[in-house]
Structure 1
Amino acid sequence: MKTKNKRSNLRMILISIIGILVLCIGIIALRFVYLSSATKGDSIAKYDSPKSALLVTDIQNDTLGISEYGNTEPLMANINTAIKYANDSEMEIIYVKQEFMKNSLDLLLSGGMYEADSDGADLYNELSVQSDNVFSKLRSDAFSSDHFENYLIENEIDTLYIVGADASGCVYKTALGGINRGYRVIVLDDSLFSVKENALNKMLVKYQTNGIEITNIKDFIQTRD
């Protein structure tokens, strides 16, 4: 009888442990989906004198430390060139960066990268910073930041040129967030980092399917001259 009770208790303990593990996995999965999803919002107004902005996404010390990116110099040269021409033409330049609170689940999910106020979360030391327009975000989509979205509205911006990282993640989700609100969104394909380099062309097709336009650094400069 005692043996049977021990087996029954052990079974209940195992069931409880499995239930807790399933619950934890479910919470983590839901949180990951939330952090990586594109947001939706109100459509922007029709401005009398709409402006364009260059959006530099997640070019941070932790980002450029990802080994899969390999030689980062060519892409960084293109990004800094885009920033220079945007600055010379008095185009709005906006920087967004990922930041997670210390000891948070989100920081754990990121593998410890982008801890708020850390050197890793700072803008990359070789990035040309030509404005004070720097916004932090918790989710992949920059539009999850109210400060960022309000800045666009207050400055009557309706067109976003996007460069940065990563083509399959934050750049794509931010672009979708813009499309969902009625912005014209254009990415510079030779100024995008992609962990999966061989998947970049497939992503660019996906961009266009969702109404996101594609250009390159050469054409971007010509449009600003």
Structure 2
Amino acid sequence: MARLKLVQLDALIVVDMQKDFSSSGALPVPGTEEIVPVINSYIELFKEKGLPIFATRDWHPENHVSFKENGGIWPRHCVQWSQGAEFIDGLELPPDTFIINKGDRSELEAYSGFQGTLLDSLLRERGVKRLFICGVATDYCVKNTALGGLNLGYQVFILSDAVRGVSPQTVERAEEELLNRGALILEREEIL
């Protein structure tokens, strides 16, 4: 098996590992808790190599357009400063992690970590060319963050052992779309 070596052009993006997406949260994604140790192993690897780590989070105002009560399709989740918006217990983000708030304007839905944020600017300032993406949900925010990266010219790797999605059918469609758009899918043992 060929293995991919991390280089100074690489960054880890941890997508939406928040309490409201855990099994007891407002919008649970099956298997969120089980990937925490795997994500921590990626965090440790990127930290050891001195590579930047970014963590996106839904950071919604109370009147966010995505909430059912405001005409959206989702239950109220990840409200700014709420317990549900906190990062999930056990996630070991280092102090120098770049935190990217998305969906923080009431009128704007944002599935991508690039939408309405400074993520692209922060990556470019650091000379990043390759993105390694993990987190939840594969079929929503992981997919859209990956597509955003591809659209902006980054090489994108989905860390398949460190993502979970809402349903097997939509995960399969998301993975197919990502592969067709040029993303690559890797697991921890394939990375040096």
TM tier, smaller = 0.7 to 0.9
1:85 aligned residue: 45
CA contact (8 A) 2:21 2:29 kept: no
CA distance change for structure 1 residues 190 and 198 in 2, over 3 Å: closer, same or farther? farther
Residue pairs, 1:1-225, within 5 angstroms? 51-64=9-22, 65=25, 66-67=27-28, 69=30, 71-108=31-68, 109=72, 110-130=74-94, 131-138=96-103, 139-220=110-191, 223=192
Shift in Å, 1:126: 1.5
Deviation per residue, 1:71-130 (Å, 9 max, x gap): 544322211111111111111111010111112333443311011111111111221111
The code of the aligned residue for 2:100 comes to: F
Q: Aligned equivalents of 2:40 and 2:183: distance in 1?
A: 22
Structure number with greater Rg is 1
TM-score, length of structure 2 as denominator length: 0.82
The code of the aligned residue for 1:156 comes to: G
The code of the aligned residue for 1:54 comes to: L
CA contact (8 A) 1:98 1:114 kept: yes
CA contact (8 A) 2:57 2:100 kept: yes
TM-score, length of structure 1 as denominator length: 0.71
Q: Aligned equivalents of 1:210 and 1:135: distance in 2?
A: 24
Q: Aligned equivalents of 1:148 and 1:182: distance in 2?
A: 14
Q: Aligned equivalents of 2:151 and 2:32: distance in 1?
A: 31
Q: Aligned equivalents of 1:188 and 1:121: distance in 2?
A: 23
The code of the aligned residue for 2:43 comes to: I
Q: Aligned equivalents of 2:28 and 2:52: distance in 1?
A: 31
Shift in Å, 1:145: 3.3
CA contact (8 A) 1:107 1:114 kept: no
CA distance change for structure 1 residues 195 and 91 in 2, over 3 Å: closer, same or farther? same
Unaligned runs of 5+ residues in structure 2 are 1-6, 104-109
CA distance change for structure 1 residues 169 and 92 in 2, over 3 Å: closer, same or farther? same
CA contact (8 A) 1:162 1:185 kept: yes
CA contact (8 A) 1:135 1:145 kept: no
CA distance change for structure 1 residues 171 and 67 in 2, over 3 Å: closer, same or farther? closer
Q: Aligned equivalents of 1:186 and 1:143: distance in 2?
A: 16
Deviation per residue, 1:13-33 (Å, 9 max, x gap): xxxxxxxxxxxxxxxxxxxxx
CA contact (8 A) 1:101 1:107 kept: no
The code of the aligned residue for 1:55 comes to: I
Question: How many residues in Structure 1 have an aligned counterpart in Structure 2?
Answer: 172
Identity percentage of aligned residues: 24
